[in-house]
Structure 1
Amino acid sequence: MTIFRFLFLAVIVSSCAAQKEKINGLSFVAAPIEVDQSHVNPVVEVGANYTAVMPFGFMRNLEHPEIIHNTDRQWFGETRAGTKQYIEELRKKQIKIMIKPQIWVWHGQFTGHIKMSSEKNWKALEKTYTKFIIEYANLAQETKAEIFCIGTELENFVKERPEYWNDIINKIKTIYKGKLTYAANWDEFKRTPFWSQVDYIGVDAYFPVSDKQTPSVEDCKAGWQGHKKVIKSISETHNKPILFTEYGYRSMDFTGKEPWESDHTIESLNFEAQTNATQALFEEFWNEAWFAGGFIWKWFVDYENEGGNKDNQFTPQNKPVETVIQSFYKSN
């Protein structure tokens, strides 16, 4: 065997090994019920090897410091017990886990705008957030979750209280021994100050990529180029892989224009736009060595009754884009 042929085969073997390590994830949405294997089987069928399991805490408004969590007034899947039960069922099919605690502010106000009106209230928020996040750091260690996400889209909180975030990361590390990330919003991650302290640079990847009503794959790929350069540069600066802690598109017109848009009054239906935008994202990122993978937003427990030909929301379930996801996930 010539040296050239040997090196060529080595590259192929190495590439295949790297592909098997990609995080092909789904955001497994909390539900009022316990899950069983009938809910897990579609996760396996689409080719996912990871799910993000997402317990929730609730805030009254952007200035209210109390986070209410793990109560009997919440849906089962939003609680500690529900999170653990979901993990146990997913583990039966060798699905790996990211625990991703999230905050819901009343009326769906954006968590990145959380801001306290006084030092007293900032201290109160820190105290209650610590209680919330440590609850799930302990669960992550108990269940041996592969990844723990320390927060989701909390830019102003991070900006205003940098010492707190340094301290809470250190505290989490005394409890949880797996990999850490933080889910920064797409326009936040460039400024997140603590990437050196976690294992993955987490990005909720709702980058605008096209203003067209039905963008082609090539349109979206072109729209990624400027963003991709910045994303790669942040990865190189911190020597950390990029993880799309959320990614996905709605099945509607102009889905690539403002991909974060969740307005339920929008009525347009466009499966081609969703499929093309998703295909472009896979083609741009999934074979990059510095890219760890990602978690599609979002995947509901009750597969048979979700998504479908009248749904214009994010879920890929029972839509043409599901085949695209399956193709990439099962080949990587």
Structure 2
Amino acid sequence: MAPVKREKINGVSFVASREAINNEHVKPVLNVNANFAAIMPFGFIRDLEHPEIVYNTERQWFGETSLGAKQYIEELRYSGVKIMIKPQIWVWRGEFTGLIEMKDEASWKQLEDAYTKFILEYALLAAETKADIFCIGTELERFVDNRPAYWFSLIKEIKKVYKGMLTYAANWNEYHKTPFWKELNYIGVDAYFPVSSSKKPTVEECLIGWEKHKQEIKEVHDKFNKPILFTEYGYRSVDFSGKEPWKSDRSMNQVNLDAQTNTTQALFETFWREDWFAGGFIWKWFHKHDKVGGLTNHQFTPQNKPVEALIKKQYSLY
């Protein structure tokens, strides 16, 4: 007998752009056998201590707004692609969202009010569009650490308007202490774990590098009995891609396509066959497939690189 095919979330992180999308932009998603797309509208914060969130403005790109997110969802859905809505915060100059931290109680309250308004806007969109998964936040470690009671109350408010599956995208070094997993459906992890310090990591090195991380991830799964979802995963096509995979530093510019392929293959071999692993969203996928990536590109996108064929094959298996 042939083995039973266990369906995974075979996702792409679909990057917001200036314009609407159409079927031509969806075809490459289908071509890699993806069955899910993360749609990522954005809110903006001036600095790490600033409590105001600016979103849905005319200055933003179309895909970053509620209206644009809805158009993307409808176009992808028309072709049978399922949806995770994953609203994100961008701090000016690209500072890390995990470091957002207010200096006083009044500012914390202001941030909470702003974040509630921001996230409920997209929870309502998730309800309206019947999105399959809603992600309540991305890499907000200090916000969660400092204000756990707020997050529990926020989840209650979200559940009043959206009845589908919930997750939170915890950073790879944050997920083990996130306090509210029992209230959600998936334990979400942005999976930028260090797995190899080699210039060109081999699959074997990365498999060994994953062993400790995998055990710890499985322990969190066992504790809460919730499936693990890689809300983001992926590697740059650059030297040392497995050393600090979260880095988007432009000074790292030595193209290494094998490094990207090998690290990705090791991740697939480590997780995709596990029943407790739900799947993941490759970081990141641009709508104009023929204009991005390629053999001279050193960024995260797998498009028009050898790793794209690997993803297509993997996504066909589960």
TM class by shorter chain equals over 0.9
Match in the other structure for 2:211: 225
Describe how 1:174-253 pairs up with structure 2 within 5 A.
174-253=160-239
> Which residue, out of 117, 127, 130, partners 1:144?
130
Cα distance in 2 for partners of 1:279, 1:38 equals: 28
> Rg bigger for which structure?
1
Match in the other structure for 1:34: 20
Post-superposition offset of 1:294:
0.1
Post-superposition offset of 1:273:
0.5
Paired residues, number: 318
Post-superposition offset of 1:265:
2.1
Cα distance in 2 for partners of 1:272, 1:178 equals: 39
Cα distance in 2 for partners of 1:283, 1:135 equals: 38
User: Structure 1-normalised TM-score?
Assistant: 0.95
Cα distance in 2 for partners of 1:184, 1:175 equals: 23
Match in the other structure for 2:85: 99
Superposed CA deviations along residues 237-256 of structure 1, whole A, max 9, x for unmatched, are: 00000000000000000000
* Counterpart secondary structure, 1:190: helix
Match in the other structure for 2:150: 164
Match in the other structure for 1:4: none
Match in the other structure for 2:275: 289
Match in the other structure for 2:310: 324
| AA aligned opposite 2:168 | Y
Cα distance in 1 for partners of 2:253, 2:182 equals: 42
> Is 1:260 the equivalent of 2:246?
yes
Post-superposition offset of 1:114:
0.4
* Counterpart secondary structure, 1:218: helix
| AA aligned opposite 2:311 | I
Structure 2: give runs of 5+ residues left out of the alignment: none
Describe how 1:121-140 pairs up with structure 2 within 5 A.
121-140=107-126
| AA aligned opposite 2:126 | A
Post-superposition offset of 1:269:
0.5
Cα distance in 2 for partners of 1:101, 1:267 equals: 29
| AA aligned opposite 2:56 | N
Cα distance in 1 for partners of 2:201, 2:46 equals: 39
Describe how 1:9-28 pairs up with structure 2 within 5 A.
9=1, 15-16=4-5, 19=6, 21-28=7-14
Cα distance in 2 for partners of 1:71, 1:132 equals: 12
Superposed CA deviations along residues 145-200 of structure 1, whole A, max 9, x for unmatched, are: 00000000001000101110000000000100100000000000001000000000
Match in the other structure for 1:5: none
Superposed CA deviations along residues 203-262 of structure 1, whole A, max 9, x for unmatched, are: 000000000111111110010000000000100100000000000000000000000010
Give the share of equivalent positions with the same residue, in percent. 62
Describe how 1:58-69 pairs up with structure 2 within 5 A.
58-69=44-55
Cα distance in 2 for partners of 1:29, 1:260 equals: 17
Post-superposition offset of 1:266:
1.6
Cα distance in 2 for partners of 1:305, 1:253 equals: 23
Match in the other structure for 1:116: 102
Cα distance in 1 for partners of 2:261, 2:179 equals: 34
Cα distance in 2 for partners of 1:265, 1:141 equals: 42
Post-superposition offset of 1:298:
0.2
Detail structure 1 runs of 4+ shifted over 6 Å in the superposition.
none
Match in the other structure for 1:153: 139
Superposed CA deviations along residues 19-59 of structure 1, whole A, max 9, x for unmatched, are: 2x200000000000000001000000011000000000000
Cα distance in 2 for partners of 1:113, 1:67 equals: 15
Superposed CA deviations along residues 276-297 of structure 1, whole A, max 9, x for unmatched, are: 0000100110000000000000
Cα distance in 2 for partners of 1:117, 1:184 equals: 23
Match in the other structure for 1:45: 31
